[in-house]
């Protein structure tokens, strides 16, 4: 999941992210870094905690990116507000819907968060539709996720043999390849690939399975709500489509006009791309090429899948009647430098799927198209997949599926403008509705990662200074 804009994400990671310790704190030993005494964790929560408990909570927050201390004290089967549009409650569904395998991916997740994800899936999915739950552990180092998790799985499977499967990687593969591992272990006709920090709402499964039963080439995303990382309160999100910018950071979009004209808030929303979690026909997912396992860690794989599905004859929908709440972490697992992986993955997508528009991705990341110095790996198999599936052009995709995506033409140059004499001065594009660039003081040295202006020029001299991505 990645709702933050790229620039905000980059700044946040630079100043906030701390490398997690080997295991989260559970007692008074190992005090957390006092530089986090004003942490965002305590902005709306925890004022009544003792100093010792605040240190424990803070250390767990630094490790998980959310309030693990609070999560451990919440019920695993807590109630959820029904946030579906009113029309969803009166819909009836066929009795012969296909079964689903739910896959949860995790690395060093809080055990209570994983168990709550499993409990909500079991409690809010009709038992005849939920064939199995698959847990993919991407080589966690947290000991709590070994014996204690195995005890829970054994207890559950004693009542329903083989219901929960555990796949453990011997080395860390990243989210992308972990999802493919989960798919390989699944046996139901439909596979749902989720993070292990979600909570399902009532009636989520039936609308998803019906849409896939009607057309197996549909890939479905639920509508997401937010579980606040500090208070674990459920924050309702507006109904949205899902898209991306030219750096291939994903973003929420206003639903298309055609959806609004229907006047039916329970109707499926056509979406150009996927934010992250999705549900797919198991065999169709293989036919369409799974995920690009040549990508690293995560970031961009959801965008690549959405582009590929549309260009190759399938479709993407977001369902308002299928609501799932997801924790948006304050900082991410896997790596301190997620940006470099997303950039590499984005250039892979550009080279395979974007035709003449691949230059937009290079411009957005401010790297030259020739001799970029970035090894994107071998993409010959992905290009062969595109040829085999007889996919449409990326121009078709932009015109028909993502018309709101801005296109750039007649580009003369792009790059970053930096003042070599006064490093705290930054040049910015200025207001969007004006073509007058502005100069401003930055609190630190105006480094490329923070100023990141993409300069481009049209031959006619219009729109001289604008960023490619926002």
CATH 3.90.550.10 domain residues, the chain? 48-409
The DSSP H or E segment spanning 168 is: strand 164-168
Residue 342's φ and ψ, nearest 5 degrees, are: -65, -40
Q: Residue for token digits 């219901």?
A: 163
pLDDT per residue rounded down to tens, the chain (470 residues) = 543 333 333 333 322 333 344 456 544 444 444 444 568 999 999 999 999 999 999 999 999 999 999 999 999 999 999 999 999 999 999 999 999 999 999 999 999 999 999 999 999 999 999 999 999 999 999 999 999 999 999 999 999 999 999 999 999 999 999 999 999 999 999 999 999 999 999 999 999 999 999 999 999 999 999 999 999 999 999 999 999 999 999 999 999 999 999 999 999 999 999 998 999 999 999 999 999 999 998 899 999 999 999 999 999 999 999 999 999 999 877 777 789 999 999 999 999 999 999 999 999 998 999 899 999 999 999 999 999 999 999 999 999 999 999 998 777 777 666 677 877 777 776 666 666 777 777 665 544 444 444 444 444 444 444 444 44
A 10 A CB-CB count for 239 gives: 19
The conformation of residue 217, written as its DSSP 8-state character, comes to: T
SS3 (DSSP) at 165: strand
pTM: 0.86
Of the options 3.90.550.10, 3.30.465.10, 3.30.450.40, 1.10.10.10, the CATH number for the domain spanning 48-409: 3.90.550.10
A 10 A CB-CB count for 169 gives: 16
Instruction: Give the integer Cα–Cα distance in Å for 179 and 78.
Output: 27
Instruction: Give the integer Cα–Cα distance in Å for 150 and 156.
Output: 10
The conformation of residue 36, written as its DSSP 8-state character, comes to: G
User: Minimal CA–CA distance to 18: which of 51, 40, 42?
Assistant: 40
């Amino acid at each position: 999941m990645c709702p933050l804009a790229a620039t905000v994400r980059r700044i946040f990671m630079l100043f906030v992210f701390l490398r997690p310790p080997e295991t989260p704190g559970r007692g008074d030993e190992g005090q957390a870094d006092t530089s986090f005494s004003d942490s965002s964790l305590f902005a709306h929560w925890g004022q009544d905690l003792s100093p010792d408990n605040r240190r424990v909570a803070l250390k767990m927050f630094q490790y998980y990116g959310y309030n693990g201390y609070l999560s451990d004290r919440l019920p695993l089967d807590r109630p959820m507000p029904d946030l579906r549009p009113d029309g969803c409650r009166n819909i009836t569904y066929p009795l012969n819907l296909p079964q689903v395998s739910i896959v949860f991916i995790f690395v060093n997740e809080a055990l209570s968060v994983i168990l709550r994800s499993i409990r909500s899936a079991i409690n809010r999915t009709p038992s005849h539709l939920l064939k199995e739950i698959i847990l993919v552990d991407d080589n966690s180092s947290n000991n709590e996720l070994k014996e204690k998790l195995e005890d829970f799985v054994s207890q559950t499977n004693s009542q329903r043999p083989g219901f929960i499967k555990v796949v453990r990687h011997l080395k860390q593969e990243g989210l992308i390849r972990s999802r493919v591992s989960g798919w390989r272990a699944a046996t139901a006709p439909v596979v749902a690939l989720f993070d292990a920090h979600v909570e399902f709402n009532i009636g989520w499964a039936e609308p998803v399975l019906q849409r896939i039963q009607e057309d197996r080439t549909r890939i479905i995303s639920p509508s997401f709500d937010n579980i606040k990382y500090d208070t674990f309160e459920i924050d309702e999100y507006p109904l949205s489509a899902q898209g991306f910018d030219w750096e291939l950071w994903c973003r929420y979009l206003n639903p298309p006009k055609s959806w609004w004209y229907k006047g039916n808030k329970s109707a499926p929303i056509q979406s150009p791309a996927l934010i992250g979690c999705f549900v797919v026909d198991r065999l169709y997912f293989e036919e369409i090429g799974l995920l690009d396992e040549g990508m690293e860690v995560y970031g961009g794989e959801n965008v690549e899948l959405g582009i590929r599905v549309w260009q190759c004859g399938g479709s993407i929908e977001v369902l308002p009647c299928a609501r799932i709440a997801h924790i948006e972490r304050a900082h991410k697992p896997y790596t301190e430098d997620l940006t470099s992986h997303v950039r590499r993955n984005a250039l892979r997508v550009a080279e395979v799927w974007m035709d003449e528009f691949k230059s937009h991705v290079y411009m957005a990341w401010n790297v030259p198209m020739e001799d970029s110095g970035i090894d994107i790996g071998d993409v010959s198999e992905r290009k062969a997949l595109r040829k085999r599936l007889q996919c449409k052009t990326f121009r078709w995709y932009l015109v028909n599926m993502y018309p709101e995506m801005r296109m750039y033409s007649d580009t003369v140059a792009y790059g970053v403008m930096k003042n070599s004499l006064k490093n705290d001065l930054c040049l910015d594009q200025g207001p969007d509705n004006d073509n007058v660039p502005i100069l401003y003081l930055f609190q630190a040295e105006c480094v490329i990662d923070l100023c990141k202006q993409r300069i481009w020029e049209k031959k006619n001299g219009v729109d001289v200074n604008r960023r490619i991505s926002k």
